[in-house]
Amino acid sequence: MVVPGISCGKCQFCREGYENLCVNRKIIGFDYDGAFAEYVRIPEEAVSFGNVKKVSSSLELTSACLVEPFTAVYNGQNLLNIGPGDVVGIIGAGPIGIMHLLQARARGAALTGLIEISSQRLAEAKRFNPDFLIDSSNEDPLPRVQEMTAGLGFDVVIVACAVAAAQRQALELARPGGRVSFFAGLPHDKPDALLNTNYIHYKQLAVFGANGSGPNQYGKVLRFLESGRVNLRPVVTAEIPLEEAIRGFEMVMKGEGLKVVVHPN
Ligand SMILES: [Zn+2]
């Protein structure tokens, strides 16, 4: 596989291990032609920087297609330092929210569940056996979360949807001393959120961003997936040939299923 983000390895951020924040970063699919083709040209700097990774035969290719988002999830959860005993609430049960669920569980979280507004997404999420699933279209999540956590709130809240109101809600649902990730960026033309920052102040919350992942993080995630401890295959709900790629985009835009994989031939 090829890691799409090409870092320079020389800037301050690369040298400090934050290759995803590289100031000279180039991305295959943006700065170079992408992969919706039978053959893809790999830029020389990507090869020399080690962006070409070997995928073991123990990891089937359909699951390997999700290494990029799963490594972004890994980057976000490293910052949150999710570990044994944590109660983790994830707002948004799309494919990214589901991947957060799977990874938090693998890191030893005591309880991991999802909050979602769409009935379609809620139905899909049930297949992944979350410890709790809150339908926020007809239930205020706060009393339920308080009941689950002896009135404290979640240890960790991850916002896996591009919704300002969800960012606001995350601060409310976190326990004192909790950690919050604004994992999804808001739309570029509407990036403002109305937040009660007193929650951050009085509850002494740690609020993290998350921006993709660096080439240096892929090796560990590949080995983890090759171990079989997490199966990403059920996150892929449709596989289609290259000629039908447009239909795949339409399915994703309508929120039909979770991830769509396009096969080159
Ligand atoms: Zn750099």
Q: What is the pLDDT of residue 236?
A: 97
**Cβ within 8 Å of residue 165, ≥6 positions away:** 193
CA of 35 relative to ligand 1 center, distance in Å: 23
Asked if residue 94 and residue 59 are part of one domain, the reply reads no
- Count of residues for the chain? 265
DSSP bridge pairs for 208: 181
Q: Letter for the amino acid at 22? A: C
Give me ligand 1 centre to Cα 261, in Å. Answer: 30
- Report pLDDT for 98: 98
Distance 253 CA to ligand 1 centre (A): 33
- 205 Cα to the center of ligand 1, angstroms: 30
For ligand 1, the distance from its centroid to the CA atom of residue 68, given in whole angstroms, is: 19
pLDDT at 70: 98
**CA of 216 relative to ligand 1 center, distance in Å:** 12
pLDDT tens sequence for the chain (265 residues): 999 999 999 999 999 999 999 999 999 999 999 888 888 899 999 999 899 999 999 999 999 999 999 999 999 999 999 999 999 999 999 999 999 999 999 999 999 999 999 999 999 999 999 999 999 999 999 999 999 999 999 999 999 999 999 999 999 999 999 999 999 999 999 999 999 999 999 999 999 999 999 988 999 999 999 999 999 999 999 999 999 999 999 999 998 899 999 998 7
State the distance from the centre of ligand 1 to the C-alpha of 181, rounded, in angstroms. 24
Is 92 part of any domain? yes
- pTM recorded for the entire structure: 0.96
Is the same domain home to 99 and 118? Answer: yes
Q: Is the domain of 152 the same as that of 125?
A: yes
Separation of CA 50 and ligand 1 centre (Å)? 14
Distance 69 CA to ligand 1 centre (A): 21
Which of 191, 208, 225 terminates a domain? The answer is 208
Identify the domain containing residue 37 by its residue range.
5-68+213-263
Q: How many domains does the chain have?
A: 2
In this predicted structure, what is the pLDDT of residue 52?
Answer: 95
pLDDT at 264: 84
CATH of the domain at 146: 3.40.50.720
